[in-house]
A and B are shown apart, each in its own frame.
Chain A
Amino acid sequence: MIDALAAYFARRLAPRTAVRVLAVTRMSEGFSQETFRVEVAWREHDREERAAYVLRRQPAAGLLEPYDTEPEFRVLAALAGSGVRAPRVFWYERDPAVLERPFYVMEVVPGTVPLPVMVDGTPVFTDDERARLGEDFVANLAALHAVDWRAVGLDFLGVPPPGGGAATRELARWEGYIDRAGGPPRPVLTEALLWLRRSRPAAEATTLVHGDYRTGNFLVHDGRIAAILDWEMVHLGDPMEDLGWACMALWRGESPYMCHLLERERLYARYEELSGRCVDPERVRFYEVLATVKMAAIMLTGLHAFREGRTRDLRMALFDHQWGYMAAAIANARGLL
Protein backbone atom coordinates (compact mmCIF):
# COMPACT_ATOMS: atom_id res chain seq x y z
CA MET A 1 0.00 0.00 0.00
CA ILE A 2 2.81 2.41 0.90
CA ASP A 3 4.49 2.01 -2.53
CA ALA A 4 1.23 2.58 -4.39
CA LEU A 5 0.51 5.66 -2.32
CA ALA A 6 4.04 7.02 -2.75
CA ALA A 7 3.61 6.90 -6.53
CA TYR A 8 0.16 8.46 -6.21
CA PHE A 9 1.28 11.34 -4.00
CA ALA A 10 4.37 11.93 -6.19
CA ARG A 11 1.99 12.48 -9.10
CA ARG A 12 -0.38 14.66 -7.09
CA LEU A 13 2.29 16.77 -5.43
CA ALA A 14 4.37 17.41 -8.58
CA PRO A 15 6.52 19.40 -9.19
CA ARG A 16 7.67 18.65 -5.67
CA THR A 17 10.33 15.96 -5.73
CA ALA A 18 11.47 12.98 -3.66
CA VAL A 19 7.94 12.36 -2.42
CA ARG A 20 7.85 9.62 0.18
CA VAL A 21 5.05 8.11 2.24
CA LEU A 22 6.34 7.81 5.78
CA ALA A 23 3.41 6.03 7.39
CA VAL A 24 -0.11 4.85 6.72
CA THR A 25 -2.31 4.32 9.76
CA ARG A 26 -5.78 2.82 9.59
CA MET A 27 -8.15 4.81 11.81
CA SER A 28 -10.53 2.82 13.97
CA GLU A 29 -13.39 5.32 14.02
CA GLY A 30 -16.27 4.67 11.69
CA PHE A 31 -17.93 1.42 10.73
CA SER A 32 -18.37 2.16 7.08
CA GLN A 33 -15.63 3.62 4.92
CA GLU A 34 -11.96 2.77 5.35
CA THR A 35 -10.14 5.81 6.70
CA PHE A 36 -6.36 6.18 6.79
CA ARG A 37 -3.98 8.85 7.97
CA VAL A 38 -1.11 9.20 5.51
CA GLU A 39 2.13 10.98 6.42
CA VAL A 40 3.99 12.30 3.40
CA ALA A 41 7.42 13.96 2.98
CA TRP A 42 9.00 15.69 -0.03
CA ARG A 43 11.86 17.99 -1.02
CA GLU A 44 11.14 21.60 -1.75
CA HIS A 45 13.71 24.40 -2.01
CA ASP A 46 16.36 22.03 -0.64
CA ARG A 47 14.31 21.43 2.47
CA GLU A 48 12.32 18.43 3.56
CA GLU A 49 8.65 19.26 4.02
CA ARG A 50 6.05 17.05 5.64
CA ALA A 51 2.29 16.91 5.65
CA ALA A 52 -0.44 14.56 6.74
CA TYR A 53 -3.59 13.73 4.81
CA VAL A 54 -6.72 11.71 5.47
CA LEU A 55 -7.60 9.15 2.83
CA ARG A 56 -11.12 7.70 2.65
CA ARG A 57 -11.47 4.54 0.62
CA GLN A 58 -14.66 2.93 -0.57
CA PRO A 59 -15.07 -0.46 1.14
CA ALA A 60 -15.72 -3.57 -0.91
CA ALA A 61 -18.86 -4.36 1.07
CA GLY A 62 -20.57 -3.20 4.22
CA LEU A 63 -23.20 -1.00 5.78
CA LEU A 64 -24.05 1.20 2.82
CA GLU A 65 -23.29 -1.06 -0.12
CA PRO A 66 -23.23 -0.57 -3.01
CA TYR A 67 -20.81 2.27 -2.33
CA ASP A 68 -20.15 5.38 -4.34
CA THR A 69 -17.94 7.90 -2.57
CA GLU A 70 -17.86 10.43 -5.39
CA PRO A 71 -21.05 12.34 -4.43
CA GLU A 72 -19.74 13.12 -0.95
CA PHE A 73 -16.44 14.28 -2.42
CA ARG A 74 -18.27 16.62 -4.78
CA VAL A 75 -20.43 17.93 -1.92
CA LEU A 76 -17.40 18.58 0.26
CA ALA A 77 -15.69 20.36 -2.63
CA ALA A 78 -18.81 22.48 -3.14
CA LEU A 79 -18.98 23.37 0.55
CA ALA A 80 -15.53 24.98 0.53
CA GLY A 81 -16.01 28.59 1.54
CA SER A 82 -19.56 28.02 2.80
CA GLY A 83 -20.53 28.60 6.41
CA VAL A 84 -20.42 24.85 7.08
CA ARG A 85 -17.37 23.55 8.89
CA ALA A 86 -16.29 20.65 6.69
CA PRO A 87 -12.88 19.22 5.80
CA ARG A 88 -11.22 20.54 2.64
CA VAL A 89 -10.95 17.84 0.00
CA PHE A 90 -8.11 17.66 -2.53
CA TRP A 91 -8.36 14.78 -4.99
CA TYR A 92 -10.73 12.01 -6.01
CA GLU A 93 -9.24 8.85 -7.48
CA ARG A 94 -11.34 6.38 -9.46
CA ASP A 95 -8.51 4.29 -10.93
CA PRO A 96 -8.60 0.86 -9.23
CA ALA A 97 -4.95 0.40 -10.17
CA VAL A 98 -3.96 2.73 -7.33
CA LEU A 99 -5.66 1.21 -4.29
CA GLU A 100 -8.10 -1.33 -5.78
CA ARG A 101 -11.12 0.83 -4.95
CA PRO A 102 -11.97 4.53 -5.36
CA PHE A 103 -10.81 6.91 -2.67
CA TYR A 104 -10.42 10.57 -1.98
CA VAL A 105 -7.90 12.63 -0.06
CA MET A 106 -8.73 15.42 2.33
CA GLU A 107 -7.07 17.58 4.94
CA VAL A 108 -6.37 16.47 8.49
CA VAL A 109 -8.53 18.56 10.78
CA PRO A 110 -7.12 18.61 14.30
CA GLY A 111 -9.45 17.46 17.03
CA THR A 112 -11.14 14.49 18.61
CA VAL A 113 -14.43 12.79 17.89
CA PRO A 114 -16.66 12.39 20.97
CA LEU A 115 -18.47 9.08 20.66
CA PRO A 116 -21.37 8.96 23.08
CA VAL A 117 -23.20 6.08 21.48
CA MET A 118 -25.70 4.17 23.61
CA VAL A 119 -24.31 5.19 26.97
CA ASP A 120 -26.19 5.45 30.25
CA GLY A 121 -27.27 8.77 31.72
CA THR A 122 -23.76 9.82 32.70
CA PRO A 123 -23.14 13.24 31.11
CA VAL A 124 -20.78 13.05 28.16
CA PHE A 125 -20.09 16.78 28.13
CA THR A 126 -19.84 19.33 30.92
CA ASP A 127 -22.54 22.02 30.90
CA ASP A 128 -20.03 24.45 29.47
CA GLU A 129 -19.00 22.08 26.68
CA ARG A 130 -22.60 21.32 25.97
CA ALA A 131 -23.47 24.99 25.63
CA ARG A 132 -20.66 25.69 23.17
CA LEU A 133 -20.91 22.48 21.17
CA GLY A 134 -24.71 22.60 21.13
CA GLU A 135 -24.60 26.09 19.67
CA ASP A 136 -22.05 25.04 17.03
CA PHE A 137 -24.10 21.92 16.29
CA VAL A 138 -27.21 23.95 15.45
CA ALA A 139 -25.30 26.72 13.69
CA ASN A 140 -23.61 24.28 11.32
CA LEU A 141 -26.93 22.57 10.61
CA ALA A 142 -28.61 25.88 9.85
CA ALA A 143 -25.67 26.85 7.60
CA LEU A 144 -25.87 23.51 5.81
CA HIS A 145 -29.58 23.92 5.16
CA ALA A 146 -28.96 27.44 3.87
CA VAL A 147 -26.56 26.30 1.13
CA ASP A 148 -27.83 27.30 -2.30
CA TRP A 149 -27.37 23.81 -3.70
CA ARG A 150 -28.35 24.74 -7.24
CA ALA A 151 -25.85 27.58 -7.32
CA VAL A 152 -22.98 25.31 -6.25
CA GLY A 153 -23.95 22.57 -8.68
CA LEU A 154 -25.33 19.98 -6.29
CA ASP A 155 -28.53 19.20 -8.17
CA PHE A 156 -26.71 16.11 -9.48
CA LEU A 157 -27.67 14.58 -6.10
CA GLY A 158 -31.22 14.25 -7.44
CA VAL A 159 -33.93 16.77 -6.71
CA PRO A 160 -36.94 15.15 -5.01
CA PRO A 161 -40.38 15.95 -6.42
CA PRO A 162 -42.16 18.70 -4.48
CA GLY A 163 -44.61 17.94 -1.68
CA GLY A 164 -44.22 14.44 -0.30
CA GLY A 165 -41.46 13.57 -2.78
CA ALA A 166 -38.60 13.84 -0.31
CA ALA A 167 -40.26 11.59 2.28
CA THR A 168 -41.37 9.11 -0.38
CA ARG A 169 -37.91 8.92 -1.88
CA GLU A 170 -36.12 8.43 1.45
CA LEU A 171 -38.61 5.82 2.60
CA ALA A 172 -38.22 3.95 -0.70
CA ARG A 173 -34.43 4.20 -0.47
CA TRP A 174 -34.31 2.52 2.95
CA GLU A 175 -37.02 -0.02 2.19
CA GLY A 176 -34.83 -0.97 -0.76
CA TYR A 177 -31.89 -1.56 1.58
CA ILE A 178 -34.07 -3.70 3.85
CA ASP A 179 -35.37 -5.74 0.92
CA ARG A 180 -31.90 -6.32 -0.47
CA ALA A 181 -30.58 -7.33 2.96
CA GLY A 182 -33.15 -10.14 3.15
CA GLY A 183 -33.03 -12.21 6.31
CA PRO A 184 -35.91 -13.29 8.50
CA PRO A 185 -39.12 -11.24 8.81
CA ARG A 186 -38.92 -8.56 11.52
CA PRO A 187 -42.39 -7.55 12.76
CA VAL A 188 -41.20 -4.40 14.57
CA LEU A 189 -39.76 -3.10 11.31
CA THR A 190 -42.94 -3.91 9.39
CA GLU A 191 -45.06 -2.08 11.97
CA ALA A 192 -42.95 1.06 11.54
CA LEU A 193 -42.80 0.82 7.75
CA LEU A 194 -46.58 0.53 7.48
CA TRP A 195 -46.98 3.63 9.65
CA LEU A 196 -44.38 5.55 7.64
CA ARG A 197 -46.10 4.71 4.35
CA ARG A 198 -49.34 6.15 5.71
CA SER A 199 -47.75 9.23 7.26
CA ARG A 200 -45.48 10.75 4.60
CA PRO A 201 -45.36 14.53 5.09
CA ALA A 202 -44.94 17.22 2.49
CA ALA A 203 -41.68 19.17 2.70
CA GLU A 204 -41.84 22.94 2.71
CA ALA A 205 -38.41 23.28 1.15
CA THR A 206 -35.67 21.18 -0.40
CA THR A 207 -32.24 21.60 1.12
CA LEU A 208 -28.96 19.81 1.36
CA VAL A 209 -29.38 17.10 4.02
CA HIS A 210 -26.31 15.65 5.73
CA GLY A 211 -28.08 12.36 6.43
CA ASP A 212 -25.97 11.37 9.46
CA TYR A 213 -25.89 14.57 11.52
CA ARG A 214 -25.11 13.64 15.11
CA THR A 215 -22.56 13.54 17.88
CA GLY A 216 -19.93 11.08 16.72
CA ASN A 217 -19.73 12.72 13.32
CA PHE A 218 -17.99 15.93 14.23
CA LEU A 219 -14.50 16.83 15.38
CA VAL A 220 -14.01 18.94 18.48
CA HIS A 221 -10.96 21.19 18.81
CA ASP A 222 -10.46 23.76 21.58
CA GLY A 223 -14.01 23.12 22.76
CA ARG A 224 -15.63 23.98 19.42
CA ILE A 225 -16.85 21.94 16.49
CA ALA A 226 -13.94 22.02 14.05
CA ALA A 227 -15.47 19.93 11.25
CA ILE A 228 -18.58 17.97 10.38
CA LEU A 229 -17.60 14.51 9.14
CA ASP A 230 -19.07 11.45 7.42
CA TRP A 231 -20.97 12.86 4.48
CA GLU A 232 -21.66 9.54 2.80
CA MET A 233 -25.44 9.81 3.17
CA VAL A 234 -25.68 13.41 1.96
CA HIS A 235 -28.60 14.12 -0.36
CA LEU A 236 -31.27 16.68 -1.18
CA GLY A 237 -34.40 16.45 0.90
CA ASP A 238 -36.48 17.84 3.74
CA PRO A 239 -34.38 19.76 6.31
CA MET A 240 -36.53 18.24 9.06
CA GLU A 241 -34.85 14.93 8.24
CA ASP A 242 -31.56 16.00 9.82
CA LEU A 243 -33.42 17.12 12.95
CA GLY A 244 -35.25 13.79 13.14
CA TRP A 245 -31.97 11.90 12.82
CA ALA A 246 -30.31 14.03 15.51
CA CYS A 247 -33.26 13.39 17.84
CA MET A 248 -33.07 9.60 17.51
CA ALA A 249 -32.87 7.99 20.97
CA LEU A 250 -29.88 5.84 19.97
CA TRP A 251 -27.68 8.94 19.89
CA ARG A 252 -28.52 10.00 23.44
CA GLY A 253 -29.05 6.84 25.50
CA GLU A 254 -30.62 7.89 28.79
CA SER A 255 -29.59 11.53 28.39
CA PRO A 256 -32.35 14.16 28.17
CA TYR A 257 -30.27 16.03 25.59
CA MET A 258 -30.51 15.33 21.86
CA CYS A 259 -27.11 13.97 20.82
CA HIS A 260 -26.06 14.75 24.44
CA LEU A 261 -26.11 18.43 23.51
CA LEU A 262 -29.49 20.16 23.69
CA GLU A 263 -32.99 19.60 25.01
CA ARG A 264 -35.40 18.97 22.16
CA GLU A 265 -37.19 22.30 22.72
CA ARG A 266 -33.90 24.19 22.77
CA LEU A 267 -32.71 22.45 19.60
CA TYR A 268 -35.92 23.38 17.79
CA ALA A 269 -35.88 26.98 19.08
CA ARG A 270 -32.25 27.67 18.21
CA TYR A 271 -32.65 26.02 14.82
CA GLU A 272 -35.63 28.27 14.08
CA GLU A 273 -33.68 31.35 15.17
CA LEU A 274 -30.56 30.51 13.18
CA SER A 275 -32.16 29.07 10.07
CA GLY A 276 -35.26 31.22 9.79
CA ARG A 277 -37.23 28.02 9.18
CA CYS A 278 -40.17 26.78 11.24
CA VAL A 279 -39.71 23.40 12.87
CA ASP A 280 -42.71 21.18 12.25
CA PRO A 281 -42.74 18.65 15.13
CA GLU A 282 -44.94 16.23 13.16
CA ARG A 283 -42.50 16.16 10.26
CA VAL A 284 -39.60 15.75 12.66
CA ARG A 285 -41.47 12.85 14.25
CA PHE A 286 -41.91 11.17 10.85
CA TYR A 287 -38.19 11.51 10.21
CA GLU A 288 -37.35 10.31 13.72
CA VAL A 289 -39.26 7.09 13.07
CA LEU A 290 -37.66 6.88 9.62
CA ALA A 291 -34.27 7.39 11.30
CA THR A 292 -34.75 4.20 13.31
CA VAL A 293 -35.83 2.31 10.19
CA LYS A 294 -32.84 3.71 8.30
CA MET A 295 -30.49 2.67 11.09
CA ALA A 296 -32.06 -0.79 11.05
CA ALA A 297 -31.61 -0.95 7.28
CA ILE A 298 -27.93 -0.07 7.67
CA MET A 299 -27.44 -2.73 10.36
CA LEU A 300 -29.23 -5.37 8.29
CA THR A 301 -27.15 -4.49 5.23
CA GLY A 302 -23.95 -4.98 7.22
CA LEU A 303 -25.25 -8.26 8.60
CA HIS A 304 -26.17 -9.40 5.10
CA ALA A 305 -22.63 -8.72 3.85
CA PHE A 306 -21.23 -10.68 6.81
CA ARG A 307 -23.68 -13.56 6.34
CA GLU A 308 -22.74 -13.84 2.68
CA GLY A 309 -19.02 -13.68 3.45
CA ARG A 310 -18.51 -10.53 1.38
CA THR A 311 -16.94 -8.78 4.33
CA ARG A 312 -14.76 -10.30 6.99
CA ASP A 313 -15.32 -7.24 9.20
CA LEU A 314 -16.50 -8.87 12.41
CA ARG A 315 -18.04 -5.58 13.55
CA MET A 316 -20.89 -6.30 11.13
CA ALA A 317 -21.79 -9.35 13.24
CA LEU A 318 -22.34 -7.09 16.27
CA PHE A 319 -25.60 -5.99 14.74
CA ASP A 320 -27.08 -9.44 15.21
CA HIS A 321 -27.03 -9.45 19.01
CA GLN A 322 -27.61 -5.68 19.12
CA TRP A 323 -30.87 -6.01 17.22
CA GLY A 324 -32.77 -5.81 20.51
CA TYR A 325 -31.58 -2.23 21.01
CA MET A 326 -32.63 -1.39 17.49
CA ALA A 327 -36.03 -3.02 17.92
CA ALA A 328 -36.56 -1.14 21.19
CA ALA A 329 -35.54 2.13 19.50
CA ILE A 330 -38.02 1.55 16.69
CA ALA A 331 -40.80 0.66 19.14
CA ASN A 332 -39.94 3.71 21.23
CA ALA A 333 -39.97 6.06 18.25
CA ARG A 334 -43.35 4.64 17.25
CA GLY A 335 -44.69 5.29 20.76
CA LEU A 336 -45.24 1.60 21.53
CA LEU A 337 -43.00 1.51 24.62
Chain B
Amino acid sequence: MRLAPAMVLAGVARTLEEDVLPAVADRAARGLVFTAIEVLANVQDLVEWRADIREEELSGASAALADFAARLEGLGLHAESARVRAGLLTAEAEAEREARGRALDAALVDALVVADAAHDRPGMDDAIAPLRMHIVNQALRDVMRTQRPLLNRISQG
Protein backbone atom coordinates (compact mmCIF):
# COMPACT_ATOMS: atom_id res chain seq x y z
CA MET B 1 0.00 0.00 0.00
CA ARG B 2 1.40 3.37 -0.97
CA LEU B 3 -1.59 5.75 -0.96
CA ALA B 4 -2.11 7.51 2.35
CA PRO B 5 -5.08 6.07 4.28
CA ALA B 6 -6.65 9.54 4.52
CA MET B 7 -6.63 9.84 0.74
CA VAL B 8 -8.27 6.41 0.29
CA LEU B 9 -10.95 7.11 2.88
CA ALA B 10 -11.65 10.57 1.45
CA GLY B 11 -12.10 8.90 -1.95
CA VAL B 12 -14.58 6.41 -0.47
CA ALA B 13 -16.55 9.26 1.12
CA ARG B 14 -16.58 11.24 -2.12
CA THR B 15 -17.81 8.21 -4.08
CA LEU B 16 -20.59 7.62 -1.59
CA GLU B 17 -21.70 11.24 -1.73
CA GLU B 18 -21.37 11.94 -5.46
CA ASP B 19 -21.92 8.60 -7.17
CA VAL B 20 -23.86 6.34 -4.80
CA LEU B 21 -26.22 8.74 -3.00
CA PRO B 22 -27.90 10.10 -6.15
CA ALA B 23 -28.91 6.53 -7.04
CA VAL B 24 -30.32 5.68 -3.59
CA ALA B 25 -34.03 6.42 -3.20
CA ASP B 26 -34.81 4.74 0.12
CA ARG B 27 -34.72 7.36 2.92
CA ALA B 28 -33.34 5.01 5.55
CA ALA B 29 -30.61 3.83 3.20
CA ARG B 30 -29.75 7.45 2.33
CA GLY B 31 -29.44 8.19 6.03
CA LEU B 32 -26.97 5.34 6.39
CA VAL B 33 -24.93 6.60 3.47
CA PHE B 34 -24.69 9.99 5.19
CA THR B 35 -23.74 8.17 8.40
CA ALA B 36 -20.92 6.38 6.60
CA ILE B 37 -19.70 9.68 5.16
CA GLU B 38 -19.57 11.25 8.61
CA VAL B 39 -17.76 8.24 10.10
CA LEU B 40 -15.17 8.31 7.32
CA ALA B 41 -14.65 12.06 7.71
CA ASN B 42 -13.90 11.55 11.38
CA VAL B 43 -11.53 8.59 11.15
CA GLN B 44 -9.55 9.51 8.06
CA ASP B 45 -7.02 11.67 9.86
CA LEU B 46 -6.61 9.20 12.73
CA VAL B 47 -5.44 6.10 10.87
CA GLU B 48 -2.11 5.09 9.34
CA TRP B 49 -0.68 1.90 7.89
CA ARG B 50 0.46 -0.60 10.51
CA ALA B 51 4.00 0.20 11.65
CA ASP B 52 5.05 -3.42 12.28
CA ILE B 53 4.27 -4.47 8.72
CA ARG B 54 6.14 -1.54 7.25
CA GLU B 55 9.14 -2.11 9.55
CA GLU B 56 9.32 -5.75 8.43
CA GLU B 57 9.42 -4.61 4.80
CA LEU B 58 12.10 -2.04 5.50
CA SER B 59 14.36 -4.38 7.42
CA GLY B 60 14.05 -6.92 4.57
CA ALA B 61 15.14 -4.26 2.08
CA SER B 62 18.08 -3.18 4.24
CA ALA B 63 19.28 -6.77 4.67
CA ALA B 64 19.04 -7.44 0.92
CA LEU B 65 21.07 -4.34 0.09
CA ALA B 66 23.75 -5.15 2.67
CA ASP B 67 24.02 -8.72 1.42
CA PHE B 68 24.25 -7.57 -2.22
CA ALA B 69 26.94 -5.01 -1.37
CA ALA B 70 28.98 -7.72 0.39
CA ARG B 71 28.65 -10.03 -2.61
CA LEU B 72 29.78 -7.25 -4.98
CA GLU B 73 32.82 -6.78 -2.75
CA GLY B 74 33.49 -10.51 -3.05
CA LEU B 75 33.42 -10.18 -6.85
CA GLY B 76 35.99 -7.40 -6.65
CA LEU B 77 33.46 -4.76 -7.70
CA HIS B 78 34.56 -2.25 -5.04
CA ALA B 79 33.13 0.92 -6.57
CA GLU B 80 29.79 -0.75 -7.20
CA SER B 81 29.73 -2.13 -3.67
CA ALA B 82 30.48 1.31 -2.24
CA ARG B 83 27.65 2.81 -4.32
CA VAL B 84 25.15 0.28 -2.99
CA ARG B 85 26.34 0.79 0.61
CA ALA B 86 26.07 4.56 0.20
CA GLY B 87 22.48 4.19 -0.97
CA LEU B 88 21.71 2.00 2.03
CA LEU B 89 23.31 4.40 4.50
CA THR B 90 21.48 7.38 3.03
CA ALA B 91 18.18 5.55 3.28
CA GLU B 92 18.77 4.39 6.84
CA ALA B 93 19.58 7.94 7.91
CA GLU B 94 16.00 8.96 7.15
CA ALA B 95 14.20 9.35 10.46
CA GLU B 96 10.64 9.25 9.16
CA ARG B 97 9.45 5.74 8.29
CA GLU B 98 7.79 6.44 4.93
CA ALA B 99 10.71 8.58 3.77
CA ARG B 100 13.03 5.72 4.77
CA GLY B 101 10.85 3.30 2.81
CA ARG B 102 10.98 5.44 -0.33
CA ALA B 103 14.76 5.87 0.04
CA LEU B 104 15.28 2.13 0.48
CA ASP B 105 13.20 1.41 -2.62
CA ALA B 106 15.27 4.00 -4.51
CA ALA B 107 18.44 2.27 -3.26
CA LEU B 108 17.09 -1.09 -4.40
CA VAL B 109 16.33 0.34 -7.83
CA ASP B 110 19.85 1.75 -8.05
CA ALA B 111 21.32 -1.59 -6.93
CA LEU B 112 19.41 -3.33 -9.74
CA VAL B 113 20.86 -0.83 -12.22
CA VAL B 114 24.33 -1.60 -10.86
CA ALA B 115 23.71 -5.33 -11.29
CA ASP B 116 22.34 -4.84 -14.78
CA ALA B 117 25.39 -2.88 -15.90
CA ALA B 118 27.57 -5.85 -14.89
CA HIS B 119 25.12 -8.62 -15.78
CA ASP B 120 27.66 -10.47 -17.98
CA ARG B 121 30.23 -10.68 -15.20
CA PRO B 122 30.73 -14.22 -13.81
CA GLY B 123 29.11 -14.57 -10.41
CA MET B 124 26.64 -11.69 -10.89
CA ASP B 125 23.68 -14.03 -11.14
CA ASP B 126 24.46 -15.32 -7.61
CA ALA B 127 25.31 -11.87 -6.31
CA ILE B 128 21.93 -10.47 -7.31
CA ALA B 129 20.04 -13.29 -5.56
CA PRO B 130 19.35 -11.32 -2.33
CA LEU B 131 17.74 -8.50 -4.32
CA ARG B 132 15.58 -10.92 -6.28
CA MET B 133 14.67 -12.76 -3.09
CA HIS B 134 13.61 -9.51 -1.46
CA ILE B 135 11.48 -8.57 -4.49
CA VAL B 136 9.73 -11.94 -4.38
CA ASN B 137 9.26 -11.87 -0.60
CA GLN B 138 7.80 -8.39 -0.76
CA ALA B 139 5.35 -9.40 -3.50
CA LEU B 140 4.28 -12.50 -1.60
CA ARG B 141 3.83 -10.54 1.65
CA ASP B 142 1.59 -8.08 -0.20
CA VAL B 143 -0.43 -10.88 -1.78
CA MET B 144 -0.90 -12.63 1.59
CA ARG B 145 -2.30 -9.43 3.09
CA THR B 146 -4.66 -8.68 0.21
CA GLN B 147 -8.24 -9.87 0.28
CA ARG B 148 -9.51 -11.74 -2.77
CA PRO B 149 -10.38 -9.14 -5.41
CA LEU B 150 -14.02 -8.61 -6.28
CA LEU B 151 -13.28 -7.60 -9.86
CA ASN B 152 -15.99 -9.75 -11.39
CA ARG B 153 -18.63 -8.35 -9.05
CA ILE B 154 -17.36 -4.81 -9.56
CA SER B 155 -17.62 -5.27 -13.31
CA GLN B 156 -21.03 -6.85 -13.26
CA GLY B 157 -22.53 -4.53 -10.66
Query: Which A residues lie at the B interface, using CB under 8 A?
Result: 28-30, 113, 115-119, 183-188, 190-191, 194, 198, 303, 306-307, 312, 314-315, 317-318, 320-325, 327-328, 330-331, 336-337
Contacts and interface: CB of A to CB of B under 8 A. Distances in A.
Interface residues of B, number: 42
Interface string B100-118: 0110011011001100100
A187 B84 CA distance: 14
Nearest to A323: B142
Contacts of A314: 11-12, 14-15, 19
B11 A312 contact: yes
A324 B142 contact: yes
B54 interface: no
Binding site secondary structure of chain A: helix
B2 interface: yes
B28 interface: no
B119 interface: yes
B149 interface: yes
B136 interface: yes
B119 A337 contact: no
Binding site secondary structure of chain B: helix
Contact of A29 (B8, B139, B155): B155
A288 to B, nearest CB: 17
B155 A115 contact: yes
Given A312-B11, A314-B11, A336-B132, A321 B138 contact: no
B154 to A, nearest CB: 7
Given A320-B3, A327-B138, A185 B109 contact: yes
Contacts of B146: 321-322, 324-325
B151 interface: yes
